[in-house]
Structure 1
Amino acid sequence: MWRCPSGLLLLLLLAGQGALGARRGRWRRELAPGLHLRGIRDAGGRYCQEQDMCCRGRADDCALPYLGATCYCDLFCNRTVSDCCPDFWDFCLGVPPPFPPIQGCEHGGRIYPVFGTYWDNCNRWWQAGNHSAFWGMTLDEGIRYRLGTIRPSSSVMNMNEIYTVLNPGEVLPAAFEASEKWPNLIHEPLDQGNCAGSWAFSTAAVASDRVSIHSLGHMTPVLSPQNLLSCDTHHQQGCRGGRLDGAWWFLRRRGVVSDHCYPFSGRERDEAGPAPPCMMHSRAMGRGKRQATARCPNSHVHANDIYQVTPAYRLGSNEQEIMKELMENGPVQALMEVHEDFFLYQGGIYSHTPVSLSRPEQYRRHGTHSVKITGWGEERLPDGRTLKYWTAANSWGPSWGERGHFRIVRGANECDIESFVLGVWGRVGMEDMGHH
């Protein structure tokens, strides 16, 4: 596991607590464990060069502070690899270092070694890790197969926003989580696999929670993303991408069944052949309600109730408006831009790190995704300031991030997360309140 945050190195916590202290006699230095063997190496740090220091023979005071330890720029280094400064060999001897380079993170013209946790002006950054579901995938493939929400057209982006007005003196709580207000009605994230169908997964996820909340728990379906992927085909491309406005239109006009009834077929990126056909249709039964005209496409489940919603509405992008809507009516859907580092997110409060700015174009690609925002909170930083965040559910399965969820900086439109946020009401009549 490696961690690759961004920032000014104010506080450094490194593996290998027994860092070399100041010089404690010659034998200590000769028997010191190899700094570089412990992974403590500043891949691009200038030490000897910065001080213009290359001392002859063995000069124990020819030393510099080095990431919580001490490193040397004297020729004694030539036979002990353990405690030389990282640029000793190339600067003092003009030869490449005798250890392989370790990948680091560049920020502000400086390279930081991996295996550390850093602080940027005391902003706390998040942890990265190597998520096994993405092993062997290029960034291009990740963007192509793990996202799948097409950026809305300008006419949809210009939807009128519904403004919620806070009452005079109304103060929203510092933290809120939908699953605490509505226990058992907020559903866990599903996994879209290598299907570029976040448009269907995020829509089904928000609709599932909202139908459950608005029916006061009488209906608690996990709605079927596959129903949307296979049957919502008007200007939609299934596992090759789709639009949120089309997904909500389908949920309102046609409705979908539960995920138990119509499970995800999990089509992988390398499967050839046509997309799976639509296995569930519905017909009108009066008062805008619809009923299924087919059995569930699996033999274990017979409940093929059709669930519908009212028209989706767009919220103002002010964080207070999103918070009030979330707290009163349930989780909301948000569009976001996914950058290369989001795939590596493992925990903490995410914000996009500009590590890739100095890298070639293929490392800087990004794509549009959609997720379910479920709450918010804030965290105190060591300097006393507060970092605000949203909590959200992704659709990359429970082993990604924080059990399938993530936190992201709130109030700064981080990765466009506050730019296009939608809410919806579950279509729930009195007759639904009794028999489900």
Structure 2
Amino acid sequence: MNKLLAFAAITLLTVGIHQLSQTESVDQRLQFENYTTKYGKIYSPAEKAYRSKVYEDAMKQIQIQNADLSSTAKFGENQFTDLTPEEFAALYLTRNQSNMNLNAELYVPQGPVGASADWSNITKVKDQGNCGSCWAFSAVGAVETLLTLKGVLPSNTWLSEQQLVDCDRGTNNGCNGGFENLGISWAKKNGLTTSDKYPYVGKQQKCQISTGQYKPSGYQVVSASNMYTALSYQPITVAVDASSWQYYKTGVFDKCTLKSLNHAVLATGFQEDGVWIIKNSWGTGWGEKGYIRLPAQGNPCGVQNESYVAYLE
């Protein structure tokens, strides 16, 4: 009788586990279907099975990251959740390695450090798409905000990243990476046109408009000790290691790695506690409506290693 009861208990437990597994499988499939609909993902049948597994693994990793109660950063699904970390890096972390010119002009502070600064609303968050053009977005962002603040560029007028991708064919490599400071130098020499005249398509093509009316006077190197001062007056380009940014959703991100400066972004300000406000080029669906915040302490993600400010004489 005891053996029979034990067998029955084991049978019920096995059935329960199987039913739970089936329920989880159904829930996971439904979650992935909702994800593909939300982000407009279209796959072949074979790729769909593969992407579903990648998505499932990513969601498990996100749960582990969110279980860390010592961090204010939170993580969640976004347009990158169906990519492996290796695929994500190959598509989006393509900034060329350091091009710091030791003979370049240095930024000299012209005033005091503000208690805080936030230039985030000067220009809109953009999306580089499946093109390794972060360098162009960082360079254009620096020029765009500078000229807007100086009253040269009308408000709600955007400059063309596609022009840099197509036409700056010296050291920069279009969708295969480049240097944001050299992008600013190209804009100084040739001028940038507006995005309505030269819209972004997210791929490299033949140069269509080689000049433009909007020119900075050049760029200056901003030392680590002067970054907060520079940010008190305008945004600056920064190079970072964004390897761990894939699933970021909100909060102060304290999970940085620092192996290589593989991504270019725009620092648009800082909070009163010194937290960095960083504008990305992955659209408003990523992070805090396109932004990420980095802690004030240390050198998070290498944010202080290489930065530039565009200037106008």
The two structures have a TM-score, normalised by structure 1, of 0.54
Return closer, same or farther for 1:417/1:398 CA change in 2, 3 Å cut-off: same
Return closer, same or farther for 1:195/1:276 CA change in 2, 3 Å cut-off: same
1:143 and 1:367 in contact (8 A); partners too: no
Equivalent position of 2:117 in the other structure: 176
Return closer, same or farther for 1:137/1:326 CA change in 2, 3 Å cut-off: same
Return closer, same or farther for 1:345/1:198 CA change in 2, 3 Å cut-off: same
Matched residue of 2:276: which SS? strand
Instruction: Report the alpha carbon displacement of residue 255 of structure 1 after superposing the two structures with TM.
Output: 1.2
Matched, 1:212 2:117: no
User: Which amino acid in the other structure matches residue 311 of structure 1?
Assistant: G
Return closer, same or farther for 1:257/1:171 CA change in 2, 3 Å cut-off: closer
Matched residue of 2:311: which SS? coil
Equivalent position of 1:277 in the other structure: 206
- Using CA pairs under 8 Å that are at least 6 residues apart, name the structure with larger relative contact order, 1 or 2: 2
Between structure 1 and structure 2, the one with the greater Rg is: 1
1:152 and 1:244 in contact (8 A); partners too: no
1:147 and 1:369 in contact (8 A); partners too: yes
Matched, 1:406 2:292: yes
Output the CA distance in 2 between the equivalents of 1:416 and 1:334.
9
Return closer, same or farther for 1:315/1:367 CA change in 2, 3 Å cut-off: closer
Equivalent position of 2:222 in the other structure: 315
Instruction: Report the alpha carbon displacement of residue 423 of structure 1 after superposing the two structures with TM.
Output: 0.7
Return closer, same or farther for 1:189/1:114 CA change in 2, 3 Å cut-off: closer
- Provide Cα deviations, 1:28-80, integer angstroms capped at 9, x if missing partner: xxxxxxxxx9xxxxxxxxxxxxxxxxxxxxxxxxxxxxxxxxxxxxxxxxxxx
2:218 and 2:312 in contact (8 A); partners too: no
1:222 and 1:258 in contact (8 A); partners too: yes
Matched, 1:129 2:72: no
Output the CA distance in 2 between the equivalents of 1:258 and 1:198.
18
Matched, 1:374 2:260: no
Match 2:125 to one of 167, 189, 199: 189
1:252 and 1:309 in contact (8 A); partners too: yes
Equivalent position of 1:423 in the other structure: 309
Matched residue of 1:370: which SS? strand
Instruction: Report the alpha carbon displacement of residue 410 of structure 1 after superposing the two structures with TM.
Output: 2.0
User: Which amino acid in the other structure matches residue 109 of structure 2?
Assistant: T
Instruction: Report the alpha carbon displacement of residue 366 of structure 1 after superposing the two structures with TM.
Output: 5.9
2:153 and 2:214 in contact (8 A); partners too: no
Gaps of 5+ in 1: 1-36, 38-101, 106-111, 268-274, 283-304, 355-363, 380-387, 428-436
- Aligned residue-pair number: 257
- Provide Cα deviations, 1:373-412, integer angstroms capped at 9, x if missing partner: 1111156xxxxxxxx3111110000000000011011241
Instruction: Report the alpha carbon displacement of residue 424 of structure 1 after superposing the two structures with TM.
Output: 1.2
Matched, 1:324 2:229: yes
Match 1:350 to one of 253, 261, 264: 253
Return closer, same or farther for 1:163/1:412 CA change in 2, 3 Å cut-off: farther
Instruction: Report the alpha carbon displacement of residue 426 of structure 1 after superposing the two structures with TM.
Output: 4.2
Equivalent position of 1:202 in the other structure: 138
Output the CA distance in 2 between the equivalents of 1:333 and 1:114.
29
Output the CA distance in 1 between the equivalents of 2:142 and 2:110.
23
Instruction: Report the alpha carbon displacement of residue 308 of structure 1 after superposing the two structures with TM.
Output: 0.8
